[in-house]
């Protein structure tokens, strides 16, 4: 029996908070977290480029 987890991601941008909860299996969770991490790195890079 595969285990599922609720994963909540919150993005805080200034005073705006975006929150999303998704149900994932453990295998999907690892894949999604890697995707989310990559997305954050890209967003951070864009923000850095804008402020530089």
Q: List the chain domain ranges.
A: 4-51
Separation of alpha carbons 30 and 16, rounded Å: 27
Q: Where are the alpha helices (DSSP H) in 1-52?
A: 26-51
Length of the chain: 52
**Distance separating alpha carbons of residues 52 and 48, to the nearest angstrom:** 6
**Helices and strands (H and E) in the chain: how many:** 1, 2
Share the mean pLDDT of the chain: 81
pLDDT tens sequence across 8-31: 878 777 788 888 888 888 888 888
- The answer to whether the pTM exceeds 0.85 is no
Calculate mean pLDDT across residues 23-42. 85
């Amino acid at each position: 029996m595969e285990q599922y987890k609720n994963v909540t991601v919150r993005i805080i941008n200034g005073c705006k908070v975006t929150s999303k909860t998704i149900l994932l299996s453990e295998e999907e969770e690892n894949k999604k977290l890697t995707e989310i991490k990559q997305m954050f790195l890209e967003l951070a890079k864009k923000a850095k480029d804008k402020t530089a």
